[in-house]
Amino acid sequence: MAVLRIWSDLRCPWAYVTTVRLHRMRDHLSAEEVMFEHRAYPLELTDEGAPSEQATRAEMAVAAQLESSVFSAYDNPTWPSSYLAAFEAQKWGYSMGQDIGERFDFALRKAFFLHGHNLSMRSELLTVAQIEQLSVDQLAGALDDGRFRKAVMADYAEAIDLGIEGSPQVFLSDGATHHNPGTTVRWERGLPIIESDHPSVYEELIQVSAVDW
């Protein structure tokens, strides 16, 4: 099994684009041996804190230009606060096995960016589990006793040790790393501007991982 490790924030639009493109390219290349290990990098724990609602909405609008079919306008009357419970849910998914972990991670991201679920709410996390036909009771128990919080914090501590540049950051098995693969973004007058976007880099990421395996 070849593993790509991806540190990211679940509410990061660029990480969502990366996840979409990784899944698509793996399917295109039939590289089932390449696995995605999503690791927690909660931006709310950094010195800068999580991006504001205004900044995230701006990023979502711009990221949607790259992958328009997987974004919708967020019209939920509530905006997410802390995402730590969502990261615990992500860890719970992986505890059920690699395939379920990947599927549930992707479902959580789509729930926010495509379907407008507020993933800081326990009930919304349980709804995603129900949609994915996973055990709502088991996820509820994991969230209630906080059994995966230590794993989330361990991911963040490792990210700091690795010198993560930001969300997302992909690590190959040989140690090579890519921040926001293929896409360069700058901020200008409070708006994110895409300077370049090269989706072809995802073919290289999957192919190199498959070869290393």
89 with 75: CB under 8 angstroms? no
CATH of the domain at 193: 3.40.30.10
Is residue 211 very low, low, confident or very high in pLDDT (cuts 50, 70, 90)? low
Is residue 101 very low, low, confident or very high in pLDDT (cuts 50, 70, 90)? very high
Which residues lie below 8 Å from residue 9, measured CB to CB, with a gap of 6+?
A: 15, 41, 42, 43, 50, 83, 167
At 155-207, the pLDDT tens digits run: 999 999 999 999 999 999 888 999 999 999 999 999 999 999 999 999 999 99
pLDDT for 184 equals 97
Helix (H) / strand (E) containing 190: none
pLDDT for 9 equals 98
Q: Which stretches of the chain are assigned E, i.e. beta strand?
A: 2-8, 34-40, 169-171, 177-179, 183-188, 191-197
At 113-136, the pLDDT tens digits run: 999 999 999 999 999 999 999 999
Give the structural domain span for 21. 2-212
Please compute the mean of the pLDDT values over residues 151-156 and round it to a whole number. 98
50 with 9: CB under 8 angstroms? yes
Token pair of 46 as six digits: 């950094």
Is 209's pLDDT higher than 80?
yes
SS (H, E, C) 127-143: HHHHHCCCCHHHHHHHH
Q: How many domains does the chain have?
A: 1
170 with 53: CB under 8 angstroms? no
